[in-house]
Amino acid sequence: MRELLEYLARAIVDAPEQVKVEEIEEDDGTIVLELSVGDDDYGKVIGRGGRTAQALRTVVKAAAVREKQRVLVDIVE
């Protein structure tokens, strides 16, 4: 899931080298992926009205369901 989120985020932003994804596993087995990008790219990752961020979450969640995992995507600064 981490690689998928990194791949998608790098395709969207202007500075792909600044994309970082941190993976945290919670006690209940949920995996939290924290996405951080360069300061100028937050607008691109979030998108108008949060549409791009929601699309990223949907794609990652769909891939996680296929592997019977629960994944949450957070965009952090």
Which H, E and C letters describe 10-43, residue by residue? Answer: HHHCCCHHHCEEEEEECCCCCEEEEEECCHHHHH
17-69 pLDDT, tens digit per residue, is 999 999 999 999 899 999 999 999 999 999 999 999 999 999 999 999 999 99
Q: What is the pTM of this model?
A: 0.90
The Cα–Cα gap between 38 and 70 comes to 27
Is the pLDDT score of 77 beyond 90? no
What structural domains does the chain harbor? Answer: 2-75 (3.30.300.20)
Do 53 and 47 contact (CB within 8 A), yes or no?
yes
Q: Check residue 57 and give its pLDDT.
A: 95
- The pLDDT tens digits for 2-15 are 999 999 999 999 99
